[in-house]
Amino acid sequence: MNWNRLLVISAAGVLSTFAGAVLSPSDGWSTAELATLQSLSLSDLEPLPPDPTNAVADNRQAAALGKKLFFDKRLSANGAVSCGTCHQPDRAFQDGIALGRGVGVTAKRTMPIAATARSPFLFWDGRKDSQWAQALGPLESAVEHGGTRAQYAHAIEEHYRAEYEAMFGAMPDLSAVPQSAGPSGNQAATDAWARMTEAQRSSVTRVFVNIGKAIAAYERQIEFGPSRFDHYVAAVAAGQSGGGILSHDEIAGLRLFIGRANCTQCHNGPLFTNNEFHNTGVPVRPGLPTDNGRLTGAQTVSQDEFNCRSQWSDAPERCSELDFMATGDHELDRAYKAPSLRNVTERAPYMDAGQYTTLDAVLDHYNRAPAAAAGHSELHPLHLSSRELGQIQAFLRTLSGPVVVSGGTPPEVTR
C-alpha cells in the first residue's frame, strides 16, 4: 500500500486518492480539533520505515518463507503450536483469551501483530527491540512453542532448505548437531548444547536468527486498513458532513476521546498508540508471577542476546532507540505498552493479562483511576457520566476495520 498519497474514502464509501488534504471546519469542529482528527487518520500514516537490523525485512521471498514458518506447527515441541495458534488472522492476529496458550499457558495476553513493524519495542514490557528478535522469544519459551534451536535448524534443513538457501546462503553442516539442543529448554537440551562446539552453536544460532528475520518479513507486511473513523475524517476533509458515517453518540464519543477523557495522552497518531509504556493502575491478576513491566523489560532488552547491538543484527551501529532508552526509573514499575486501539472492540479481554473482560470494565477503570498495585499510576479520575462512557465506547467501535497485508490483501487464514 502506498502511504505517500493520502487515502480518502468518501461518505458513499468510494476509495480515491489525493495529495495534501487539509481539513476545513465542518460538523462543528474547531480548527485545532480538525488537526487532531487528521493526525489520527490512517491517511496521516507515514511510509513504513526500513528495519536496518534485518537485511531481508522488505524482501518478498523472505516474507513468503516467513509466512510458511509463521503457520508451521512443526516449529514446536509437540507439533501442535505455530505462531498462528495465538496470532490468528481472523481475530486480528490475537486469540481472544486472557492468557496465551501454546504448549503451556503464558502469563500474558496475546498482543496483535498489525503495524508492530512501526514500534521500537515489542511485547507488553518492551523486552525485544525488533520484530525478528520478538519472533525468537516464543520459539524457545517453555510455555509457547517449547522447542530448541537445534530442532528448528533441522526442521529448516528438512523442509525448507532450498527456500532458506535462496535467501540466506548455504545451510551449515548439521550432521553432528543433536536433534534437540539449545541454551534454554530441558536439562537434556541444555546439556546437549553445552557439548556442542562453539562453531556448531554459532551456526545453529545463525539459522535460528534467520527464521526470525523471515517471519518478521511476513509480519512487517501486516497493517490496518481504513475504518469508519477514517471514512469520517475523509468526508470532513472533503468539506462534507460526516453525519451519515458516524452517529451522534459516536461523534460525541470522539469529542470526549480527544477532549475531556484525555485518551490521546497515550492513544494518539494514526495507530492510536504512542508506542510507549504507562502505569495506569491495572490490577495484578491473581496467581501470576510478580511482574514489574517496563522496569524489567528495559533491563532485559538492553542485555538481550538478539538486540540491535548484537552480532546478529545487520546494523548494530544504528540503535538510537536502544541507546537513549530509559532504564532503572521507578516510573517504569508496572508500566506496560499502550496497544493500538484499532479493532479494540474485537479484542476482549483487555489489559496485559486479560484482567478486564469488557470495554465497560476498562472504561470504568479509567474513569475511577484506582491506585497502582506498584509504582505510580498516571491516571486521574475523569468523573464522566455513564452516558459519556457509553459514547466513548460507541466511538471505539468506529475504529474497527480490516487487517491487510501489503497491497491491501486480507491475510490468508491458515492454521
Q: List pLDDT tens digits, range 153-180.
A: 999 999 999 999 999 999 999 999 999 9
Residue 236 CB partners (closer than 8 Å, separation 6+): 23, 24, 26, 27, 29, 34, 37, 242
Q: Is the peptide bond before 349 cis (omega within 30 degrees of 0)?
A: yes
Report pTM: 0.92
* Residue 117 clears pLDDT 80, i.e. is over it: yes
* Closest listed residue to residue 254, CA positions, set 400, 399, 366, 395: 395
Q: CATH number for 6-48+227-293+335-404: choose from 1.10.1030.10, 3.90.1300.10, 3.30.70.270, 1.10.760.10.
A: 1.10.760.10
Place of cell 535460528: 208
Residues 265 and 274: their CA atoms lie apart, in Å, by: 8
- pLDDT band at residue 297, thresholds of 50, 70 and 90? very high
If residue 35 lies in a helix (H) or strand (E), which one and from where to where?
helix 31-40
| Cβ atoms < 10 Å from Cβ of 195 | 10
- pLDDT band at residue 329, thresholds of 50, 70 and 90? confident
- pLDDT band at residue 237, thresholds of 50, 70 and 90? confident
| Cβ atoms < 10 Å from Cβ of 63 | 22
The alpha helices in 303-352, defined as continuous H runs, are 320-323
Q: What are the boundaries of each domain within the chain? A: 6-48+227-293+335-404, 60-219
65 close to 167: Cβ distance less than 8 angstroms: yes
109 close to 291: Cβ distance less than 8 angstroms: no
User: What pLDDT is stored for residue 12 in this prediction?
Assistant: 33
43-99 pLDDT, tens digit each: 999 999 999 999 999 999 999 999 999 999 999 999 999 999 999 999 989 999 999
- pLDDT band at residue 412, thresholds of 50, 70 and 90? low
Domains 6-48+227-293+335-404 and 60-219 share a fold: yes
DSSP 252: H
Angle made by CA atoms 245, 248, 254, in degrees to the nearest 5 = 80
User: What pLDDT is stored for residue 24 in this prediction?
Assistant: 45
Q: Which CATH architecture has domain 60-219?
A: Orthogonal Bundle (1.10)
User: What pLDDT is stored for residue 407 in this prediction?
Assistant: 54
User: What pLDDT is stored for residue 391 in this prediction?
Assistant: 98
In this predicted model, which residue has the larger pLDDT, 9 or 237?
237
Mean pLDDT of 105-113: 97
Angle made by CA atoms 407, 270, 48, in degrees to the nearest 5 = 45
Q: Which of 249-253, 302-306, 411-415 has the lowest mean pLDDT?
A: 411-415
Residues 267 and 322: their CA atoms lie apart, in Å, by: 22
- pLDDT band at residue 328, thresholds of 50, 70 and 90? confident
* Residue 139 clears pLDDT 70, i.e. is over it: yes
User: What pLDDT is stored for residue 405 in this prediction?
Assistant: 86
Q: Are strands 403-404 and 223-224 parallel, antiparallel or unpaired?
A: antiparallel
Average pLDDT over the chain, rounded to an integer: 92
High-pLDDT (> 90) share of the chain, % = 87
Mean pLDDT of 144-157: 98
Amino acid of residue 294: R
271 close to 44: Cβ distance less than 8 angstroms: no
Residue 50 CB partners (closer than 8 Å, separation 6+): 57, 58
2-46 pLDDT, tens digit each: 333 333 333 333 333 323 334 445 678 999 999 999 999 999 999
Q: Kindly report the backbone phi and psi dihedral angles of residue 134, in degrees, each rounded to the nearest multiple of 5, phi listed first.
A: -60, -40
Mean pLDDT of 371-391: 97
